[in-house]
Chains A and B, each alone.
Chain A
Amino acid sequence: MKARLRRQSLAAVVALVVLAGGAIRAQPRTSIVLATTTSTQDSGLLDVLVPRFERERDIEVKVIAVGTGAALRMAATGNADVVLVHAPAAEQPYVDAGDLIDGRLIMHNDFVIVGPADDPAGVRGSISVEAAMRAVAQRGVFVSRGDQSGTHTQELALWKAAGIDPARLDRREETGQGMGATLNVADQRRGYALTDRGTYLALRDRLALGVLFEGDRRLQNLYHAYAVNPAKHPGARLAPALAFIEFLVSPAVQEEIGAFERDEYGQSLFFPDAAPPGAPLSGPADGRG
């Protein structure tokens, strides 16, 4: 009995080792690290694009989805090969410092201000996004990402434009979490939040929040891709990184970006924007950087 038990345990251990060995057997193909934002990951867009790229180019992409701030810092410490981010003002210093090169505008969508349907702060019908932010500041609860993501950066820029110091707002809370978790908190607290339209659309069936303000050109959300400069970070893999950026701006993939989930929501989550190489990196509608 005991001997049989021992033999069985031995067999189990051997099976485990074989399984583990199979799982970690290194594939000898090239791989790159893509540092990107939670919105591209959470929306499911990368789940469509990355496998297609891996199949077509035989380059493995390791996606690390963090806030834009963290993605940029990963690039600046040489821990990524390519970034896909959405906070032009936060990106510029890294471009100036030479960490990021070969930037291309990939796509855009927009931010919206969501809040309780009965709109206690009277945000609906504001004449500008600054007026909308002032209305929230006066009478509403505002739930912020507070995680230095692209959305958080955008929110801070909007407070600044509205002439409000967010640190002095009593009813503004920071979750330090992703967009979905932040929308849940706003929903439960009957608060307002700034969100990218894609994440809101994906979650709206479970939320009592409605879109209360949209359409201001300040609410445009621009996604750029950059390669990490190997001259500054010797480990960075430039060639496969550029291959990924070229893939993103290729006509077929641009079309796929525009069509992504369009049938599901009746509107596009992302609008393709690839400008020809060398074109300015600013937005398609204005020169804001």
Chain B
Amino acid sequence: MQPGLLVISVRTLAISGVATLLAIVVGVPIGYLIARRPFFGRTALLGFVNTGMGMPPVVVGLVVWLVLVRNGPFGPLGLIYTPSAMMLAQFLLATPVIVGFTTASFQALPPRLSDLLRSLGAGPFRTAWLLAREAHIGLLAAVMAAFGAVVSEVGASMIVGGNLARSTRVLTTAIVTETSRGDVERALLLGIVLFALSLVVSLVLTVVQQRNRP
């Protein structure tokens, strides 16, 4: 009846991993466009993005819950209390982190670099790709920050996932359950697994980030 440690860990990795990947796909291009050149309202937009980086997960969870419940606007999709609902909430939490870090990394590049690449004959997509390679240290920091934020988040997952033992219980919500049950040993074990999971993912990304560095 109690899902095993392995099941919960794999589920955690899958939900937070997919949410982070979606946030990269959406957030990196947005961050690049914001960084490329000034436009009206850019500072205000960045202000919103930076606020979003510190958005309380429980509030995001509550809003997603209200949207997905049966009599909510997207109720007919039947997504409430499913892993998809958790991915959606975590995606909303991760995206501002990715956008904010991406903008900062591209803005930190020498401003003429883009013009130089264009004058050497690179098209817009090739320019973006080459700039992204230059900015890869900051971009990988963005990925680590976003994954770290969603994998350790508990409020939104609890609210929109429901902490169902067979389908939506992840490491953080399992820790809450075991603590309130009074099984502190198992809670601690889950905490160690969560920490190890974050550590492995961060180490892999750090190795990628730091290679070719003197």
Contact = CB atoms under 8 A, between A and B. Distances in A.
A208 to B, nearest CB: 9
A258 to B, nearest CB: 30
Contacts of A173: 164-167
A238 to B, nearest CB: 23
Contact of A188 (B1, B69, B158, B165): B69
A66 interface: yes
A70 B182 contact: yes
Nearest to A169: B1
Contact of B164 (A69, A148, A167, A185): A185
A81 interface: no
Given A74-B182, A166-B1, A185-B81, A174 B162 contact: no
Nearest to B75: A188
Nearest to B69: A188
A69 B176 CA distance: 15
B182 A69 contact: yes
A173 B168 CA distance: 11
B114 interface: no
* Band of interface residues on B: 20 to 34
B182 A148 contact: yes
Interface stretch (A17-25, A175-183, A221-229): A175-183
A147 B176 CA distance: 11
Interface in A62-76: 66-67, 69-74
25 contacts: A66-B180, A66-B182, A67-B180, A67-B181, A67-B182, A69-B181, A72-B182, A74-B182, A146-B177, A147-B177, A147-B181, A166-B1, A173-B164, A173-B165, A173-B167, A174-B166, A175-B162, A175-B163, A176-B180, A177-B158, A177-B163, A181-B162, A185-B164, A188-B69, A188-B81
Interface of B: 1, 69-70, 80-81, 158, 162-167, 169, 173-174, 176-177, 180-182
Q: What are the 9 A-B residue pairs with the smallest beta carbon separation, nearest first? A: A70-B182, A176-B177, A73-B182, A174-B165, A167-B1, A148-B181, A176-B163, A173-B164, A185-B162
